[in-house]
């Protein structure tokens, strides 16, 4: 999910997984950390699809092909 919320000097987004809600806040697990966001600062939130699976590198793909 993505949550857009206010900061002192503007807006920012937290992109990740919703891991919890409490009275007055929600927690989003991003790539780097869990971000607790006060609901009073939330501007918008929406569910987004999961990231696509990583593509195999060209080298890894050629290493798995049989020789011959």
Residue ranges for the chain with pLDDT beneath 50: none
- What pLDDT, on a 0 to 100 scale, did the predictor assign at position 51? 80
Strand, helix or coil at 62? helix
> Whole-prediction pTM value?
0.73
The H-assigned helical ranges of the chain are 58-63
CA distances from 23 to 26, 54, 65 (A): 8, 36, 54
CA distances from 68 to 12, 59, 60 (A): 53, 17, 17
What's the token pair of residue 33?
A: 């950390």
- What pLDDT, on a 0 to 100 scale, did the predictor assign at position 31? 93
| All domains of the chain in start order, with CATH | 2-48 (2.30.30)
């Amino acid at each position: 999910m993505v949550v857009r919320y206010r900061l002192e000097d503007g807006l920012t987004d937290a992109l990740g997984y919703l891991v919890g809600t409490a009275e007055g806040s929600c927690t989003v697990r991003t790539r780097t950390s869990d971000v607790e966001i006060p609901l009073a600062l939330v501007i918008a939130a929406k569910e987004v699809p999961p990231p696509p699976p990583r593509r195999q590198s060209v080298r890894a793909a050629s290493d798995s092909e049989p020789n011959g």
